[in-house]
Amino acid sequence: MYNKGLYHDWVPKPIQLLLIVLLLTVVMPLGGVYTGNISYVASGTGSMTEYFMWANYATTIGMGACMPVVLRMKMRFKVRDKMILLLVILGLLSYVNATSQQPMIFIFTSLVIGFLKMMVTIELFLPLMAMIGHRGMFYGAFYTFVLVMNQVAAYYAADVSIRYNWQHFYLIVSILCFILALIHWIFMHDKYFALKVPLHYIDWLSILLFVSTFIFAAYVFSFGKQQDWWNSKNIMNASIASFVSFALLAIRQMTLKRPYLSFAIFKRNNVQHGLFMLFWLGMFLGTTSIQNTFAVGVLGYDQLTNARLSVLMIPGIILAGVIAIFWFKKEIPLKMYIFSGFSAMMGYTIIMYFSMVLEFNYENWYLPMFLKGYGTCSLFISVWFYTLDKLEMDEMLAAIGLVLVWRTFLAVGFFSTLYSWFQYRFQIVAVGDLAVYIDGMMVNPQNIAANMKSIQLNAVIASGKKIFGYIILVGFGVLVYILTHHFGKERFRYLKFIRVLSGKSVIARRRLRERKRLLEDIKDAAGPAI
Three-state secondary structure of 217-266: HHHHHHHCCCCCHHHCHHHHHHHHHHHHHHHHHHHHHHHCCCCCCCCHHH
Average pLDDT of every residue of the chain: 81
Q: What is the pLDDT of residue 491?
A: 46
For 58, residues 6+ apart whose C-beta sits below 8 A from its C-beta are 32, 107, 108, 110, 111, 114, 215, 218
Q: What is the pLDDT of residue 493?
A: 43
In this structure, whether the domain defined by 262-486 belongs to CATH 3.40.50.300 is answered with no
- In Å, what is the CA distance from 458 to each residue of 71, 261, 359, 427, 465? 53, 49, 12, 9, 10
Higher-pLDDT residue of 520 and 95 is 95
Q: What is the pLDDT of residue 519?
A: 42
116 has pLDDT over 80: yes
What's the pLDDT band for 253 if we cut at 50, 70, 90? confident
Q: What is the pLDDT of residue 367?
A: 92
CA-angle at 150, arms to 395 and 43, nearest 5°:
120
HSE value, Cβ hemisphere, 13 Å, CA-based, for 175: 6
Domain at 7-194, CATH from 3.40.640.10, 1.20.1250.20, 3.40.50.11540, 1.25.40.850: 1.20.1250.20
CA-angle at 194, arms to 193 and 197, nearest 5°:
110
Does residue 239 contact residue 216 with C-beta atoms inside 8 Å? yes
Q: Could you report the per-residue pLDDT of 272-315, keeping only the tens digit for each?
A: 888 888 889 889 988 888 888 888 888 888 888 888 888 899 99
Torsion of CA 428, 434, 438, 444, to 10 degrees: -60
Q: What is the pLDDT of residue 444?
A: 62
What's the pLDDT band for 476 if we cut at 50, 70, 90? very high
Cα 422 to chain center, whole Å?
23
